[in-house]
Structure 1
């Protein structure tokens, strides 16, 4: 993993060779004398957004000299299994065995610029781009081979890196066909892709090879990465967001701590470079104890948080308005409810890490950022460098969906590497820094009003959402990077970031004739950014809890009530599927089952969730017994990876629902460790059962964010059915149940 100059990196990787692990299903084509060519169908739909910046085949894949394929993707591996899914679609379209396809992820100057990995968009953007590029490559290889073999395309067979004549059995490898070149053809519609009925890999449960490495504790993550002569560093954090450094006394540092290489001060940014990691830890503590800072701006009182949010919010923006809600409400009994969610953390199990080395010309960075190209833009602005002088390579970190502290650790390392060139500088964050400086998921308020007509159907609905920004991810605006805010000439964010994520899924996916959705934006006291599912988590918790309340008012079963408001057959199917899976469950005393439904973004995947809980009314304790999900994401690429994603998302959402909350007083954030910020324990994790409805003829959608939003409502509804206690404020703690 030594640094490679940007100008020679493609050649280096081409000459390097590779090691890969794969699984071959249904036999290898190479062992078949005359394989039967799979049928192809012309795809004439919309090309993925990622192809807007990378339109040619060679932007997405390369043919190596040994005939194997290197696929290039700008997405990063977060534990979602994107590498395996991309390998599957490429092998499928090129009729290759899996072990002959390797996937190279996220490296500036080599892979396409696909922005951020997020929004459950990697499958429909990156994997589908690879599919269409591979299908185009196959077509071009056949055309070129037909000329070299002097025969018609219809007389050729393409399989496992070979193109063979049916008549005289003469064959050429992919490398021989291209003769050292790559396929520069633009991907254009229509594209002949393999008929899904003949898929060998897509739709199957292909195991991820990296799982075994994780289980064995092999060096997988950036925290494990080591370079010869590498030095270690820590950054001294201010006492609060707005604090500025008044003075720093490091005169006694070297006498107190051994191994000091250099102390770096750039405005209020203070870092220390040492020979070993523990020396950096001790040096950071010494410098913190010998520094004086301005007092930060006080936080609001925690008990007044939601009142404070409403006080500072802007005038509402109407984001949806259909029918006439005010007229529909007249003369009809209106139901109202308010739901709240606190600030919550990414709470990555592994604190952030960044490594950088400046070779005098190129700044090389290794990072677990979820957007290496946008981060490069932000660092280029902060460091006053040309973007192509910064080379970033993605290395997996502890799984974490959203804008975590990874970019900030990389920025710390970059600043320090420029101060001490030609040496790898490793910045490892502490647990306390991770908990304090993480860009949290914002606190939210969702207020709902609805009414029923004489047929007990919803005839009017109003949603009011209070939300901070849901994405301040790094980009050209250097202020999105934490370190940039503390330099001699500090950068502050030029915009509020992506506010629209706050009202995601705030408009119910039900047939309601009159509906209004208003969003109130506020600029809150804490640093916030994108966290798995953005505002959908709060909004679906509110909507699906409210749907149970409305069903009770209508005197109907909660699932039947939902079905009565749906016409979309795919939505109906997931609800009926989870209904069937839970039909044998009994509502025993102190136990209850709750349900929730969602179509993510109202345009993507469908999911219905059920949760069974037990509630101890004397102690307020909630025990999760089992959770179920029925999911329709269109075409399934990897059944195993998809199931893992749904299970993991539901468990994370259960932790948010029952445990997680950023705590603070007027002077500081107090949830600085796992004791003060508890998460779901392994002993508390319930059994999870997932049913997948595979629709190969439908567009493939991502799964990463889909299971999170409905899980909270399913648990809250289960608690109500077990105890007759409705909790509106997350997390649902024993104290809240006892006080209800």
Structure 2
């Protein structure tokens, strides 16, 4: 952890002796338009995140000593993005990976790439870095050619040195005097040829793993800067509760306590020692009186409540035509209860307020949106706030990390000059974090006499899946202040990616289809993004129903899917997963079943097909995933082992969601306060065997991997249960008590 520093690019630009090489064709084109009256041709689109940050030195920095820094606005969340972008940059710069340093998500160091979400890190950031690195290599080769008096085409570039045929050479460090990399990127780049690549396509060991497995400092929870103090917050006991009275005098007199911080219903304590902060927090909670807010829905009426709320209807797909003569029509509904992120480490942040500036170290997934929210909450200018990403212990989605950052910022302002470490307690994380929304789907389809789908009608009902910052009203602490910030009105996310309707449009050939998104603005519980968003439930619903349709016409589920697909890459992953799993030779056994599912994430990202085998304990209803075999096509594979990590982790996480996880409530508050009241998959229940088969596509665009497995895993499990015992469970989680009752 370092003190705030002045931005490097600003330092260069305000220094003396800098050479800025920057150009733009826009004025010339504008003049041409004025002369001939014709609009200029549209400029080619820059690839990836270069559209938002087109300067090469936003992504690649070469210092006078020849050291190279790669900067990505995406955050390392355990998905291995630091390693992957390093590989991409090292390949195109023709450098050994050990010579490349990677900086992630820092509002003073990196480009603004928004949130690290939606499996966009490779698609957007790695693509931008690949082009930037290739163009930097070309630019430096051109500068070397001018210095050496030769043609760039005859030079060789390797490990930061440019060599001529006669042996003369110049280093990159000698070429970067001034600011020669402050150049706008071009739409096209000259990449290292596929047959010459040495780094892309190899399983380079992950940069983030050694510290995690050796117990070194790996997470924001591990940071301990000099002079640090500890803080804890007292959260309201229920949603909407307000602090009515507080007697803090005894707490303030405790040894080690530095200050009690109160602003409206925001309440916290700062102490020199962590245990002192925890015990002071407990004492404060005992001396606080609250006015409780509105009641929550009845636990056994969650779906009735959701069904009764007003909706905004959006038709997201409509290809209705004259349907063939249906021979059979089926209809089903599927449901998913509220679920938590369940981060293994409770959310944490560090903040330092000094010299009218604020620096926050956080594991939230969007440093620039977080900066905007904190600046608004504290009524500071954004340039007075710096947010630095440090990896957190567990989460994909919008958990309580942003709230913890806001807690730390408010407390740091009350004790200027001291780094403040704020960590939530387990029950605070569980009881106040945004949940993954409860959802309901309804699907109806008709089949003709040949067993082909001739009509498809689908509707998904869901709350929003995005209440992240940049608004201060999206931060729970900001909502508790004496002058509170109101949450903005929830909005649906738009297609083609979508939110609740993500993956609601099947990739299958359905000539007569309609898909409806019933968006529910009112939120009975606080909700936001959980990994894969609506794709998890929509793929579960669609792929479960595909099995039901296949069974109705007596077809094999894999053959039925292939019959309705035209996408060759989709067919390839399905065939690969089926072949590697031995689908056609699968053995029938009592209480064991096999399931299959497929999806292309968002219909834009990675293709994934999955075959699973489960075992059912009839006397308890317990479902055990024994084996999973996946095939994935994520475009060009930069780090094959990293892809396997993501798919394996996605299968395990989705298995936990699908078999175990649901938020419980009473009429006033969430009751899932710990691991006993919110069980997750334990090691002894993990799959016995997981196989990941990668269909590498050298030269194809990166498609992203992180959320490809969530939906297919849920559907494959549901299909396997139905195959094993003939009972179709249509509600997530696939509860053992429901299955046991059905079996008895």
Q: Is 1:313 paired with 2:310? A: yes
Q: Is 1:368 paired with 2:363? A: yes
Of 182, 186, 189, 1:188 maps to: 186
**3-state SS of paired residue (1:51):** helix
Q: State the alpha-carbon separation in 2 of the partners of residues 639 and 312 from structure 1.
A: 45
Q: Is 1:677 paired with 2:678? A: yes
**What residue is the counterpart of 2:478 in the other structure?**
484
8 Å CA contact 2:64, 2:176 repeated in 1: no
**Cα displacement (A) at 1:180:** 4.6
Unaligned runs of 5+ in 1: 13-43
Q: State the alpha-carbon separation in 2 of the partners of residues 435 and 230 from structure 1.
A: 26
Q: State the alpha-carbon separation in 1 of the partners of residues 241 and 156 from structure 2.
A: 68
**Cα displacement (A) at 1:111:** 0.6
Of 184, 197, 201, 1:199 maps to: 197
**What residue is the counterpart of 2:98 in the other structure?**
99
Q: Is 1:277 paired with 2:284? A: no
Larger deviation, residues 189-198 vs 449-458 = 189-198
**Cα displacement (A) at 1:497:** 4.1
Of 417, 420, 424, 1:425 maps to: 420
Q: State the alpha-carbon separation in 2 of the partners of residues 146 and 662 from structure 1.
A: 64
Alignment of 1:92-131 (within 5 A): 92-131=91-130
Q: State the alpha-carbon separation in 1 of the partners of residues 316 and 299 from structure 2.
A: 29
**What residue is the counterpart of 1:140 in the other structure?**
139
**What residue is the counterpart of 1:156 in the other structure?**
155
Of 381, 386, 390, 1:391 maps to: 386
Larger deviation, residues 449-458 vs 208-217 = 208-217
**What residue is the counterpart of 2:39 in the other structure?**
none
8 Å CA contact 1:48, 1:124 repeated in 2: no
**Cα displacement (A) at 1:259:** 1.1
- Aligned structure 1 segments of 4 or more residues deviating by more than 4 angstroms: 7-12, 329-332
**What residue is the counterpart of 2:2 in the other structure?**
2
8 Å CA contact 1:465, 1:520 repeated in 2: yes
**3-state SS of paired residue (1:696):** coil
8 Å CA contact 1:10, 1:110 repeated in 2: no
Give me the CA root mean square deviation. Answer: 1.6
**What residue is the counterpart of 2:641 in the other structure?**
640
**Cα displacement (A) at 1:734:** 1.4
Q: State the alpha-carbon separation in 2 of the partners of residues 238 and 352 from structure 1.
A: 17
**What residue is the counterpart of 1:618 in the other structure?**
619
Larger deviation, residues 246-255 vs 140-149 = 246-255
Larger deviation, residues 490-499 vs 226-235 = 490-499
Of 280, 288, 301, 2:298 maps to: 301
Q: State the alpha-carbon separation in 2 of the partners of residues 514 and 155 from structure 1.
A: 58
Query: What is the CA deviation profile of residues 56-104 of structure 1, one whole-angstrom value per residue up to 9, with x for unaligned ones?
Result: 1111011022212100111110001101111111111111111111111
**What residue is the counterpart of 1:208 in the other structure?**
206
Of 715, 719, 722, 1:717 maps to: 719
**Cα displacement (A) at 1:46:** 5.1
TM-score normalised over the length of structure 1:
0.93
Q: 1:339 to 1:329 in 2, by over 3 A?
A: farther
Q: Is 1:170 paired with 2:168? A: yes
Q: State the alpha-carbon separation in 1 of the partners of residues 730 and 416 from structure 2.
A: 54
Q: Is 1:440 paired with 2:410? A: no
Alignment of 1:395-414 (within 5 A): 395-414=390-409
Q: Is 1:268 paired with 2:265? A: yes
**3-state SS of paired residue (1:502):** coil
**Cα displacement (A) at 1:7:** 5.0
**Cα displacement (A) at 1:328:** 3.5
Q: 1:491 to 1:138 in 2, by over 3 A?
A: same
**3-state SS of paired residue (2:190):** strand
Query: What is the CA deviation profile of residues 603-652 of structure 1, one whole-angstrom value per residue up to 9, with x for unaligned ones?
Result: 22111011100112222111111111000111111101011000000000
Alignment of 1:450-469 (within 5 A): 450-469=445-464
Q: State the alpha-carbon separation in 2 of the partners of residues 54 and 131 from structure 1.
A: 14
Of 349, 353, 370, 1:358 maps to: 353
Q: State the alpha-carbon separation in 1 of the partners of residues 616 and 711 from structure 2.
A: 22
**3-state SS of paired residue (1:191):** coil
8 Å CA contact 1:5, 1:362 repeated in 2: no
Larger deviation, residues 409-418 vs 189-198 = 189-198
**Cα displacement (A) at 1:313:** 3.2
Q: 1:81 to 1:247 in 2, by over 3 A?
A: same
Alignment of 1:651-662 (within 5 A): 651-662=652-663
Q: State the alpha-carbon separation in 1 of the partners of residues 478 and 491 from structure 2.
A: 16
**3-state SS of paired residue (2:205):** coil
Q: State the alpha-carbon separation in 2 of the partners of residues 103 and 497 from structure 1.
A: 35
8 Å CA contact 1:472, 1:498 repeated in 2: no
**What residue is the counterpart of 1:228 in the other structure?**
226
Q: 1:10 to 1:71 in 2, by over 3 A?
A: farther
Q: State the alpha-carbon separation in 1 of the partners of residues 348 and 528 from structure 2.
A: 19
Q: State the alpha-carbon separation in 1 of the partners of residues 386 and 63 from structure 2.
A: 23
**Cα displacement (A) at 1:439:** 0.9
TM-score normalised over the length of structure 2:
0.93
Query: What is the CA deviation profile of residues 10-54 of structure 1, one whole-angstrom value per residue up to 9, with x for unaligned ones?
Result: 879xxxxxxxxxxxxxxxxxxxxxxxxxxxxxxx98533411221
Q: State the alpha-carbon separation in 2 of the partners of residues 330 and 667 from structure 1.
A: 52
Q: 1:527 to 1:150 in 2, by over 3 A?
A: same
Q: 1:205 to 1:249 in 2, by over 3 A?
A: same
**What residue is the counterpart of 2:701 in the other structure?**
699
**What residue is the counterpart of 2:342 in the other structure?**
347
**What residue is the counterpart of 2:587 in the other structure?**
586
Larger deviation, residues 329-338 vs 302-311 = 329-338
8 Å CA contact 2:363, 2:401 repeated in 1: yes
8 Å CA contact 2:326, 2:448 repeated in 1: no
Query: What is the CA deviation profile of residues 414-438 of structure 1, one whole-angstrom value per residue up to 9, with x for unaligned ones?
Result: 0111111011011010000011111
8 Å CA contact 2:629, 2:691 repeated in 1: yes
8 Å CA contact 1:466, 1:519 repeated in 2: yes
8 Å CA contact 2:243, 2:291 repeated in 1: yes
* Matched residue count: 704
**3-state SS of paired residue (1:96):** coil
Q: 1:96 to 1:489 in 2, by over 3 A?
A: same
8 Å CA contact 2:325, 2:448 repeated in 1: no
Q: State the alpha-carbon separation in 2 of the partners of residues 498 and 275 from structure 1.
A: 44
Unaligned runs of 5+ in 2: 13-42
**What residue is the counterpart of 1:548 in the other structure?**
547
**3-state SS of paired residue (2:330):** strand
**What residue is the counterpart of 1:536 in the other structure?**
535
Q: 1:9 to 1:2 in 2, by over 3 A?
A: farther
**What residue is the counterpart of 2:444 in the other structure?**
449
**3-state SS of paired residue (1:139):** helix
**3-state SS of paired residue (2:237):** coil
Q: State the alpha-carbon separation in 2 of the partners of residues 446 and 624 from structure 1.
A: 25
Query: What is the CA deviation profile of residues 274-325 of structure 1, one whole-angstrom value per residue up to 9, with x for unaligned ones?
Result: 111111111111111111111120011011110110101314221111124x
Alignment of 1:72-91 (within 5 A): 72-91=71-90
Query: What is the CA deviation profile of residues 439-463 of structure 1, one whole-angstrom value per residue up to 9, with x for unaligned ones?
Result: 1110000111001012110001111
